[in-house]
Structure 1
Amino acid sequence: MDPVIPFEPVVSDTIPAGSNWRYEIKWDGTRILTYHDNGGTQLYNRKRHNRTAHYPELLDFRSYCKADSAVLDGEVIALAADGKPSFHEVMRRDMIRRLERVDEMRRKVPVTYMVFDVLYVNGRWIHNRPLSERLDILQQIVMPHEHVLQASSHPDGEALFAVVRQQGMEGIVCKDLTSAYAFNGKDGRWVKVKNYGDITAVVGGFTLEGGVVNAVLLGQYDGDGKLWYIGHAGTGKLTKSDWRHLTELLKPAVIRDRPFVNEPARHRDAYWVAPRLTAKVQYSEWRWNEGRSLRQPSIQAFVDVPPEDCKLPWVE
């Protein structure tokens, strides 16, 4: 089976209401689709990059699924020390380049696969069937497992969002139970309501303190391929070791000319780099009247996303 590009929710400020809606926690993890048939089990992310070697705990398919063949859709999550899902932690697994480190990181960062959909089962594609039917099938084929859970739902979206906000979690996803699943689709059949904003941005510069990177200058591209500075981040989930490693990556990549078309507020002490490294950035709001920049941006993790995919929100 060739990997597919999964269906995505659209962002909304309001929670849709009605008996045809299902409300789930938006897990702060990485999207993974599991493909199993008589040729074995393969894992792919939303960009159709192979992640089979990264999550060996999911390869014994028969231990958590009764189907002879299936395509499952879900989110791989990892927990931080406070017991909440952490994108930074799961990226420690997902961004492994030296695969000989997988066993070591498996012990350090255990993961759970939160399965929320089934697209193919026992030789038949079922993505065009209503979500309610797909969930019934999922309930029948997924079995309890140490590393696999079927994502639960709550009947009251407002109440679920209130709990998520209280816990400082990412948000909720609202799904129309009557809806089909569209490969490489994105529309209002699935809606995400977020407790805070996050984007993917590219690093175009940095500043130093004591010879170590202490902040990065972030940008996104417009429709003409021009890189616009949107803010700098010196806080987030990165450890001191992460900042030192970042310094080793960025210092050799310094270039003379500024990659941004606009001049950052912090430009006098900045070093410019070719825009290659991308990061997931959390923020409180866009400051539309202040150069269209981010308020309180913080780095969550560096991600395997092409720089050209980091587009300004009004371009997408």
Structure 2
Amino acid sequence: MKLLEVMEPVLSSEIRTGDAWIHQIKWDGIRGLSYIEDGSVQIYTKSGRERTSFYPEIQIAPKLLNGHQAVLDGELVVFNTGNRPSFHLIMNRERLRNSSNLPVYQQKYPVCYILFDLLFFNGTDLRNRPLEERQDLLRTKVSSSSNITVTDDFTDGSALFKLMKERNYEGIVSKRKNSRYQAGKKHNDWFKTKISKKILAIVGGLSWKEQFPNSLLLGIFQGDQYLYIGNASLGLAQKDFQLLKAYASDYTQESSPFDNLKKMKDTTWLKPVLTCWVSFLEWTDSRSLRHPKIIGFSKDPASEAQGKEFITE
């Protein structure tokens, strides 16, 4: 079967209300499509990367299906010690490239597959059928296991959003009950409402424009690696950039401190010492911050910037 393009929720600050909508938890993981055919399954990420052998937890899916063929849409999730889905942990699992290390990764980052849509069943294309009908079939035709389950629906989006904020989750997705499955974001049927978060980051470089710093290169420590997570300038005043220019003269280093970024035009690399608090909405697929804003500089040591997320009030 030809690989399918997923339907994506559109970012919105408004929570939909009324009987025409259902609301679901927004799981902080990696989108995963599973193609089941006659007892076997293949797993692909949203970008089309085939990852079947790297997620053996999902191999049980054909046994849970009351049928011989299906295409399932869901989220691959790793929960942290607080039983919350963690984007960083699933990305640690996703970085696995050598199957010989799989047993260690399975133990450290066990994956759950949270299902929320059924696109094909027994050769029938369901994408033009209403969401309610697809979900009824999903719950009827797919059983749950310790690693695979179907997400719950909620009628009160505001109450669910409040609960997600209390539990430090990512947010909610609101879906029109009669929506058909449309690839991409050119629709008005699925919306995601995000909870603004903050993270402690390390300043690992300055980018320059016309001989003046115009953004910070930010990073965090993950295990033994210092990873670049994006640039930010929003939230900084002119006086902050003046101070950064002076700071740069004392903490410059020749090479990039980041393990995943070695070259960038018009950049001064800095020793990873200075930390700051950054608010953001979500992580992109390339593992950088979306809509980052500098809240303020911090006295916390760089060793504390481990990627832990906090809710902004």
Paired with 1:55 and 1:98, the residues of 2 have a C-alpha distance of: 12
Query: CA–CA distance in 2 between the matches of 1:177 and 1:229?
Result: 45
Structure 2 alignment gaps of length 5 or more: 208-212, 230-254, 273-284, 298-304, 309-313
CA RMSD of aligned residues (A): 3.4
Please list the CA deviations of residues 174-231 of structure 1 after superposition, one character each: whole Å capped at 9, or x if unmatched.
Answer: 0001110012344321000000269xxxxxxxxxxxxxx9544599xxxxxxxx9653
Cα distance per residue 1:13-67 (max 9 Å; x no partner):
1101110101001010100000011383110011111111111111122332212
- 1:59 is paired with a residue of what secondary structure? helix
Query: Does residue 259 of structure 1 match 2:265?
Result: yes
TM normalised by structure 2 equals 0.72
Residue in 2 aligned with 1:312? none
Q: Give, in whole Å, the separation in 2 of the partners of 1:76 and 1:169.
A: 15
Work out the CA distance in 2 between the residues paired with 1:252 and 1:132. Answer: 43
State the match for 1:304 in structure 2: none
Distance 2:184 2:260 in 1: 37
Measure, in 2, the Cα distance between the counterparts of 1:136 and 1:154: 15
| Match of residue 231 from structure 1 | 216
Provide closer, same or farther for how the CA distance between residues 67 and 269 of structure 1 changes in structure 2, counting only shifts above 3 A: same
SS at match of 1:93: helix
Other-structure match for 1:279: 287
Amino acid of the structure 2 residue aligned with 1:232 = L
In the other structure, the counterpart of 2:55 is: 55
Tell me how many residue pairs correspond in the alignment.
Answer: 257
Alignment of 1:78-227 (within 5 A): 78-196=78-196, 215-217=203-205
Q: Does 1:67 align with 2:67?
A: yes
| 1:46 counterpart = 2:11 | no
The alpha-carbon deviation at position 103 of structure 1 amounts to 2.1
- Per the normalisation by structure 1, the TM-score is 0.71
Q: Which deviates further from its counterpart, 33-42 or 74-83? A: 33-42
What runs of 5+ residues in structure 1 fail to find an aligned partner? 199-212, 220-227, 272-276, 287-293, 302-316
Q: Say which is worse superposed, 34-43 or 68-77, in terms of deviation.
A: 34-43
Q: Which residue of 2 aligns with 1:243?
A: 226
Residues 117, 134 of structure 2: 8 Å contact kept: yes
CA distance in structure 2 between the aligned counterparts of 1:169 and 1:252, rounded to whole angstroms: 27
Q: Provide, for residues 271-309 of structure 1, a one-character-per-residue CA deviation record: whole Å limited to 9, x for no partner.
A: 9xxxxx9433266x54xxxxxxx54798859xxxxxxxx
User: Which residue identity lines up with residue 51 of structure 2 in the other structure?
Assistant: R
How far did residue 156 of structure 1 move? 0.5
Give the AA of the match of 1:136.
D
Relative to structure 1, the CA distance from residue 242 to residue 250 in structure 2 (aligned partners, 3 Å threshold; closer, same or farther) is closer
- The separation in 1 between residues aligned to 2:306 and 2:205, in whole angstroms, is 11
Pair 1:59–1:161, CA change in 2 (3 A): same
Deviation at 1:242, TM superposition (A): 2.6
Structure 1 stretches of at least 4 aligned residues deviating more than 3 Å after TM superposition: 213-219, 228-232, 244-255, 267-271, 294-301
- Are the equivalent residues in 1 in contact too, given 2:61–2:148 (CA < 8 A)? no
